[in-house]
Each structure stands twice: as C-alpha cells, then as structure tokens.
Structure 1
Amino acid sequence: MDATDGPAVIKLGVEDAMAGLVLSTEARWNQTEDDWRVFLHDGIVFGIRDGMRLVATAALLPYSGNNAWISMVLVSGTHRRRGLATRLVDACLETARTNGLTSWLDATPDGAAVYGPLGFAPVLQLRRLRLVNSDRASAQAPAAATLDSLCTRDRRANGFDRTTLLSKFAQRSGSRIVSANGAIALVREGRTARHIGPLLADNAAAALALVNAIAQSEGSPLLLDAVASQTAFLEGLTASGWTIERPFQRMRFGSATATGEEVPFAVAGPEFG
C-alpha cells in the first residue's frame, strides 16, 4: 500500500477533546480533557478516523524560540501496525519544517527505536515514577509560590518560554505552585494521579525536601518525570517509596535553538516537555 493510501490525515478541533481522551485512556495515560484542550487550542493535532471514530492522533505544540513538542502519538489497539502513527508523525514533522520549528519529543524505548532512523537525536533520559501511598503528616504544607517565579525558572532551564502552558496549568482547579529552600514545583490534576512538574531546584536535597513536603500534604497517588542524570534525586525518591514505572528518551529533530542554564529535576511531562 502506498503511504498516501488509506484513511485521510485530518486536523482536529477543540470539539474532539473527548474523543482524544478516549484514546489516551485506552492507553492508560494520565491526561485529562483539559490537557487535550491545550493541544487542540494552542497546537495542531492530526488525526485519523475510521468512520466517525477517532482511532489515531499526534500533536504538535509550539513554544517560543521556534521550538515545538510532538506528543500524543496514539493509535487504538484495533488499528495498530498499519503505519498510522508514522503518517501522523510525518505530518507533524512536515508542519514543523514548514514553520521553521525544531521538534522535540519524549519517547518510550519502542518509540525511540522508530524516531532515531527518522533523524531524531537523543538528548537526555527521563524516569516516570509513581507514589501510591504517602505517609501524610501534620507538618506544614510548602509555601505557595507565584506563577512568575515558576515561569522565570522554567525558562532558564529550557531556554524557551512556556508561560502560556504553565498559566493554563496553574489556573486549573486543584493546581498549586509551591516552593521551599530554592526549589519550586507545580502540582496539577491528572486522570489517575496528580502530577508534580516542572520541578526546579538549587540541589537534590532541596528538590527531595519539596517533593516529600508535597507528598505529605496530598492524599492522592502522585506521578513525576525525573531527569535521569539527577542521580541523587532519583535515588532519594526510590528510597522514600517512589517506584520507577518506565523510562523516556528525550529526542530532538534539528539544531538546538536555545540552551538551558540548569537541568530540571522533573519535567512537566513527556507530552509537554
């Protein structure tokens, strides 16, 4: 079959948020309907339908400085091994090339094996961790921090601005930005667990202390995506009850347009970078 044969690749709209959520829920991912609305409103989401049913997606979310994140590459179990994901990623890459954007993504090991031959180069590794049961204590919750403080620190770490994204996270019900001793993090709702990230800190001890304080003030399961090179932080998490679920490989297509001044301890999530 020719690569152009088969059902058409289409652009999705905000009205497709629930259909996208069905796909990510089938994959047991943590995204909410609000997350899908970010991609559909601020980015470009390509999809493939079988009749009226949405069966595959891929999203391109632009950031400042000619950068963009590719994510939400999903194919329903009933339609896998038909080349749908490749077609959708190709659509994202072509759109990025047309607009002069450097593309980034966080890939599973299987995904990295696919994206490497397409021209993506590895950058850093992540580890997804989960904490199911935290020991809630009467210790004071970490202090609230401002959105401006988080955006400034996040921009320093990434080399590009994500104020629009972080603002939307912060405005959601249940979200909070907290800080202590040179560490700052955003905590937000997810479908199956609350997510900590991005997390920026002066050192591993400060990062761990803030995560522990967050865990002690939360009653729900928690997820975070730690940067693997932050070894002391990662070891501290596993020693305190966090379980590593899976690795991700951050990859870039094209030349870097900016360089971060510090390495984060945890990122906003593989779908957002």
Structure 2
Amino acid sequence: MADFDGLQQVTLAPGDEDEAMELSREVGWNQVPGDWRHFIEKGQTLGLRDRSGRLVATSAALPYDGPFGFISMVIVSDTMRRRGLATALVGKCTGYLRQLGLVPVLDATEQGQPVYEKQGFLPQFRYDRWQIAGHGPAPADAAVSSAGPRDIARLDAAAFGAQRPALLKAFLSRPDTVVITEGTSGFALLRRGSRAWQAGPVVSDSEDAALRLLERLPIGAVPLFIDVPQTWRKIGAWLKARGFAVQRSFARMGYHRQEPFGTPDRLFATAGPEFG
C-alpha cells in the first residue's frame, strides 16, 4: 500500500511544466518543457505535492487514437522513494486508460519490469538506448521533402499501432526538428532534448532502408540518443562502429497483452520511452 501521508494528489495544469522539468532534471531524463506541456494538454498528468507544495512525484497517461494509450513520466523525488508511490501512480494511470477502453502500454527499464509485471503488464519486445557524446554543432533543420506531415502520420500509425497526429505535429512544429524522408515509404525524426538530441521515430520498409535514413542524420555530430529494437542487429552494429554505446535497455509492455501493436518489422527506432 502506498504511503501518501502528508501528500496531496493533483492534476497538473498548463503552467506546471517548469516544476515538472525540475523532476526530469533530478533523475537525468531528456524531456523539454514542450514534452511536459503535451502530456498535460493531451492526457492526464498526475502529481503529488508535499506539505510545502513542492511537486515530488508525477505520472502521465496519454491516450492515443487506436487500441491503446501510453503510461510514462513516472518520477518520484529521491526523498520520497520506497513508499510505493510509483506503483500507486501507475495504477491510477492504468485505471484511467482502461476507463477509456484503451489497453495501457508502457516502456520499462530492466529494474522496473518485474514491478510492472506484478501489476499485470507483459513484455512485448525489448529495445536498447544507444548514446554518443558528440561534440559537433547543432544540426540545421531540414524540411519535409517528398513525404509530408500526413504521410509521416500514416507511416507512424501503421508501424506504431495507433494514430498520434497531435504528437507528431508538436514534434514537427519545433523549429530545430530535423526530418529525413525516403519517398513516401519511410522517415526519421531528430529533435532536441534537454540532455541530448533524440532520434526517432524511424519508420521504413526494411532495415537497409532504415540505415539509409540514419546515414543522412547528423549521427555522432551531437550528443544523441536513439532507441532501437534489439531485433535490428545490423543497425546496432552500425551504431557501435560509429562510437555509440548502449546506455540501458527497455521492455515495451502491455497490460495483459503480450502481442505487440502495429507492425514491429517497420519500426526501427521508437519515439522514446515517454511516448512509445
């Protein structure tokens, strides 16, 4: 049972993203204020405040247009851990998505996977976060070429398993987002994070085609994260040869569902563990 003694549960509202960013920084995550703003405006983002009013824990449930929604941003300040708060917050997000008729899905670290399994989540596939320090200049933005925003949304939905046009629109509207396309069959995004640039999603019709997209990104020129399903060993070897190393691994997990959504053989990098 969670120990909520002295804590007040709140629903975060626009304007709370700066406080939420303080928690992201405390745990060393890569979000920017616009990410938090998206959770707050498009989903249900819960917070716990201590007696002083300080935000000490968060969780977010983001419904997608499809059979599932995503749970993420489960952060507990160091001074509040080991009280069952994270488990309780995940439970609240799970209940929220189920009330909407959606299957709750989340991405778990290796340490978190056993905890989520006890809550009814089953592993669907694993992916590795590759990282490189990079010391080059920030990449210039690249215009969408032969694939437009609608094509990108269509390709993403087919690979991911649900439509998320609002999220993609938010990514594409950022002035420093890099967009690489290959005809109308594949795309790769690169966006700025607080600690590193994030590559993904990367969607294509083959691993070789996905590699062609990656070769056109400024891979290795800037601090960069990319989250690649473990099945894509050619991409892993390509990243390793360019100086990347695996930071950690994640498991995509579904609530009482082990079969992945979408078309996993077209998904070559995820949008990150906060968005799926």
**Does TM-score exceed 0.5, indicating one fold?**
yes
What is residue 247 of structure 1 aligned with on the other side? 249
Which of the numbers 238, 243, 249 marks the counterpart of 1:236? 238
Distance in 2, Cα, partners of 1:258 & 1:106: 12
Amino acid corresponding to residue 62 of structure 1 in structure 2 = P
- The answer on whether the counterparts of 2:203 and 2:210 sit within 8 Å (CA) in structure 1 is yes
Distance in 1, Cα, partners of 2:210 & 2:135: 17
2:201 paired with 1:198: yes
Matches within 5 A, 1:1-273: 5-50=5-50, 51-133=52-134, 144=145, 145-180=147-182, 183-215=186-218, 219-255=221-257, 259-263=261-265, 264-273=267-276
Distance in 1, Cα, partners of 2:84 & 2:123: 23
Change (3 A) 1:8 1:135: closer
- The answer on whether the counterparts of 1:96 and 1:103 sit within 8 Å (CA) in structure 2 is yes
Deviation by residue 1:198-247 (Cα, 9 ceiling, x = unmatched): 0012222222232122126x842111111111122122211222111000
Number of aligned residues: 268
Amino acid corresponding to residue 59 of structure 1 in structure 2 = A
- The answer on whether the counterparts of 2:136 and 2:221 sit within 8 Å (CA) in structure 1 is no
Amino acid corresponding to residue 37 of structure 2 in structure 1 = R
- Give the secondary structure class of the aligned counterpart of 2:217: helix
Change (3 A) 1:261 1:86: closer
Query: What's the C-alpha RMSD, in Å, of the aligned pairs?
Result: 2.3
Deviation, structure 1 residue 6: 4.7
TM superposition score normalised by structure 1? 0.90
Amino acid corresponding to residue 147 of structure 1 in structure 2 = P
TM superposition score normalised by structure 2? 0.89
Instruction: Name stretches of at least 5 consecutive residues in structure 2 with no aligned partner.
Output: none
Deviation by residue 1:55-79 (Cα, 9 ceiling, x = unmatched): 0001000001241100000011111
- Give the secondary structure class of the aligned counterpart of 2:75: strand
Identity value in percent: 38
- Give the secondary structure class of the aligned counterpart of 1:168: helix
Distance in 1, Cα, partners of 2:109 & 2:236: 19
Deviation by residue 1:80-113 (Cα, 9 ceiling, x = unmatched): 1111111211111121222221000000111111
- Give the secondary structure class of the aligned counterpart of 2:218: helix
Distance in 2, Cα, partners of 1:90 & 1:168: 28
Distance in 2, Cα, partners of 1:6 & 1:82: 12
